[in-house]
């Protein structure tokens, strides 16, 4: 797709993850595939690398990998969205496509409102026009806001973000909410025409959920209910996807949400269950969608025309706002993932289209008990994939974005693939590396774990403004088999082990932190390492 993305050159800017042209990016919005083109709208502050003055940016793609920037889709106006056009969705209606979003204007009350926008293009232009441009321009509905208050009697401090579906000709909507009792809630409405909405009560509240696997937070943001694991039985609209029917008999319903806790974006999580009589009935505990916590936040999913349920999340930065003055951009989208259901667990796998980024042949690395060393490949843009077999107590460490032992900017110095003990004393405090570990906890065969150690990811001053805490999660032992895929892209690391993802952000500063190392104890297998292409060109200075 032409022209390619043009982006500010910066050692930390991801090269094949989507970022905004400049400024701040957060949630993906309005994800849809129409006429073979994927549309991704997103929360965007074009003016600064901080959250504020939120617009809807827009990009399109033919393959979910290469993106083309389109004009701003929504900008704050002088009505209910005067302070921002917050998160929302794309809808196929009998009147054509629509966007639904949360308008922010504190004069309208203490919560966000529900607003609609319609394409500026006519019906003919929408049907026959250039696929790239027909969803470029949007008019806000003069009736906005179509929901401007919390239901009578509901003590909701916050209510925003939308998930909408249609069953038996009736539109249903849930908005995410935070109640005065410090619990999240799904506020349910119904409508015949998307304009007049009737209160349907709460579909679920936090205190009704077993939260053993993931804390539920005090507010649920970005609710996403969708069927998974069975055939979808939605109505079919021309040139597009079926409107999803969340009570399809052959599938179960996933409720994905982002847990916000008194101002903190904690993590995204999910429940599996079913919708009965207007209530969501969970039959699983809450679980994390990604062990990277806030670095995979506000995800939204959509049904591709080939039947895949694809999810995109916001890979939030790990730096504090104090240093935003030194930045031009902030925020990236995590790679699109295909979701599947395995029992009551959601599995995430990077979409197959990403293989199109691979450059040349991979470096093949044999893993055996005692393997320890550096790879030939030196790059900040790599995919590392393979199958590992772990013995009880076994583990594999993969070190990325690592500096050579021999000194700054030396192409010939060896990389830091040796086990940590070999490096201590020679490089402590000056070398950088991020270590990904997959293994069993000591001799246990009960749990396998996946971890990303960011403690040495950055050696520079100001590190106190960067979150370098470890990230980790427990996964099923799977007889010691680990199907592994790692994507490294300058400041983003995404790891997938047996369908469990972990997204991390790291910010090495040394110019030579592009080494990769592997060490293994009680493990065997083979890894393949590809260098990956960029999807953007550097902007001229």
Minimal distance, residue 290 CB to ligand DQQ, in Å: 14
**Polymer length of the chain:** 541
Choice between 138 and 297, CB closer to ligand DQQ: 297
What is the token pair recorded at 341? 């259901």
Minimal distance, residue 101 CB to ligand DQQ, in Å: 8
Q: Where are the beta strands (DSSP E) in 293-408?
A: 297-303, 309-315, 329-330, 332-333, 337-342, 345-350, 358-367, 372-374, 381-402
Choice between 54 and 209, CB closer to ligand DQQ: 54
Choice between 41 and 226, CB closer to ligand DQQ: 41
Choice between 1 and 48, CB closer to ligand DQQ: 48
What is the token pair recorded at 374? 């550096």
Choice between 27 and 81, CB closer to ligand DQQ: 27
- For 288, the enclosing helix (H) or strand (E) is strand 287-288
What is the token pair recorded at 30? 């309005």
Q: How many Cα neighbours within 13 Å face the side chain of 533? A: 15
Distance CA 12, CA 285 (A): 37
Choice between 156 and 415, CB closer to ligand DQQ: 156
Minimal distance, residue 152 CB to ligand DQQ, in Å: 23
- Angle formed at CA 52 by CA 50 and CA 53, multiple of 5 degrees: 135
Contact positions toward ligand DQQ, by CB under 6 A?
Answer: 26-27, 43, 54, 86-87, 102, 160-161, 221-222, 258, 265, 297-298
Minimal distance, residue 86 CB to ligand DQQ, in Å: 3
Minimal distance, residue 317 CB to ligand DQQ, in Å: 13
Minimal distance, residue 146 CB to ligand DQQ, in Å: 16
Minimal distance, residue 29 CB to ligand DQQ, in Å: 9
Distance CA 189, CA 223 (A): 14
CB within 8 Å of 540: residues ≥ 6 apart:
none
Choice between 79 and 419, CB closer to ligand DQQ: 79
Query: Is the backbone peptide bond immediately before 145 cis, with ω within 30 degrees of 0?
Result: yes
Choice between 86 and 466, CB closer to ligand DQQ: 86
| CB < 8 Å & 24+ apart, contacts of 273-282 | 274/247, 275/203, 275/225, 275/246, 275/247, 278/188, 278/200, 278/201, 278/203, 279/203, 279/204, 280/186, 280/203, 280/204, 280/225, 280/253, 280/255, 282/204, 282/208, 282/209, 282/210, 282/255
Choice between 156 and 298, CB closer to ligand DQQ: 298
Minimal distance, residue 85 CB to ligand DQQ, in Å: 9
Minimal distance, residue 87 CB to ligand DQQ, in Å: 3
Choice between 44 and 449, CB closer to ligand DQQ: 44
Minimal distance, residue 31 CB to ligand DQQ, in Å: 15
Choice between 50 and 509, CB closer to ligand DQQ: 50
* Phi, psi (degrees; rounded to nearest 5) at 106: -60, -20
Query: Coil, strand, or helix at residue 391?
Result: strand
* Phi, psi (degrees; rounded to nearest 5) at 102: -95, 120
Distance CA 284, CA 272 (A): 6
CB within 8 Å of 470: residues ≥ 6 apart:
451, 452, 453, 454, 455
Minimal distance, residue 332 CB to ligand DQQ, in Å: 14
Minimal distance, residue 176 CB to ligand DQQ, in Å: 7
Choice between 258 and 513, CB closer to ligand DQQ: 258
Residue 204's nearest CA partner among 264, 246, 266 is 246
* Phi, psi (degrees; rounded to nearest 5) at 126: -65, -40
Minimal distance, residue 311 CB to ligand DQQ, in Å: 15
- Angle formed at CA 287 by CA 285 and CA 290, multiple of 5 degrees: 175
Q: How many Cα neighbours within 13 Å face the side chain of 190? A: 11
Residue 467's nearest CA partner among 348, 257, 322, 336 is 322
Choice between 41 and 487, CB closer to ligand DQQ: 41
Distance CA 166, CA 139 (A): 23
């Amino acid at each position: 797709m032409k022209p390619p993305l043009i982006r500010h050159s910066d050692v930390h800017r991801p090269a094949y993850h989507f970022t905004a042209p400049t400024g701040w990016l957060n949630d993906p919005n309005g994800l849809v595939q129409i006429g073979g083109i994927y549309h991704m709208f997103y929360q965007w502050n074009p003016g600064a690398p901080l959250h504020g003055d939120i617009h809807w940016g827009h990009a399109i793609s033919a393959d979910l990998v290469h993106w083309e920037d389109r004009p701003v889709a929504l900008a704050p106006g002088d009505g209910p969205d005067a302070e921002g056009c917050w998160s929302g969705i794309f809808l196929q209606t009998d009147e054509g496509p629509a966007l639904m979003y949360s308008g922010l204007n504190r004069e309208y009350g203490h919560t966000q409102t529900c607003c609609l926008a319609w394409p500026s293009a006519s019906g003919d232009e929408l049907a026959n026009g250039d696929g790239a441009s027909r969803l470029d321009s949007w008019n806000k509905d003069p009736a906005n806001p179509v929901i401007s208050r919390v239901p009578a009697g509901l003590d909701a401090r916050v209510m925003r973000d939308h998930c909408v579906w249609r069953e038996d000709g009736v539109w249903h909507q849930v908005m995410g909410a935070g109640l005065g009792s410090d619990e999240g809630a799904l506020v349910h409405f119904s409508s015949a025409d998307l304009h007049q909405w009737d209160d349907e009560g709460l579909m679920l509240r936090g205190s009704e959920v077993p939260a053993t696997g993931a804390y539920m937070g005090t507010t649920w943001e970005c609710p996403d209910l969708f069927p998974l694991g069975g055939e979808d039985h939605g109505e079919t609209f021309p040139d597009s996807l079926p409107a999803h029917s969340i009570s399809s008999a052959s599938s179960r319903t996933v409720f994905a949400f982002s847990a916000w806790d008194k101002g903190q974006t904690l993590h995204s999580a999910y429940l599996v269950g079913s919708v009965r009589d207007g209530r969501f009935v969970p039959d699983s505990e809450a679980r994390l969608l990604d062990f990277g916590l806030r670095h995979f936040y506000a995800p939204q999913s959509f049904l591709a025309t080939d039947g895949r349920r694809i999810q995109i999340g916001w890979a939030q930065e790990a730096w504090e706002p104090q240093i935003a003055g030194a930045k031009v951009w902030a925020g990236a989208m995590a790679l699109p993932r295909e979701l599947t259901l395995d029992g009551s667990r959601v599995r995430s796998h990077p979409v197959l289209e990403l293989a199109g980024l691979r450059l040349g042949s991979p470096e093949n690395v044999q893993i055996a008990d005692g393997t320890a060393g550096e790879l030939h490949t030196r790059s900040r843009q790599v995919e590392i994939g393979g199958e590992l077999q772990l013995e009880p107590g076994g583990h594999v460490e993969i070190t990325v974005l690592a500096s050579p032992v021999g000194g700054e900017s030396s192409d010939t110095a060896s990389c830091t693939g040796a086990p940590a003990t070999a490096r201590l004393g020679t490089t402590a405090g000056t070398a950088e590396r991020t270590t990904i570990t997959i293994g069993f906890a000591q001799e246990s065969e009960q749990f396998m774990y996946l971890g990303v150690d960011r403690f040495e990811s950055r050696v520079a001053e100001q590190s106190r403004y960067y979150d370098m805490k470890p990230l980790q999660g427990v996964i099923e032992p799977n007889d010691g088999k680990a199907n592994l895929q790692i994507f490294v892209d300058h400041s983003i690391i995404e790891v997938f082990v047996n369908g469990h993802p972990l997204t991390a952000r790291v910010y090495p500063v040394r110019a030579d932190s592009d080494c990769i190392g592997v060490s293994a104890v009680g493990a065997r297998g083979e890894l393949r390492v590809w260098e990956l292409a960029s999807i953007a060109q550097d902007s001229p200075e």
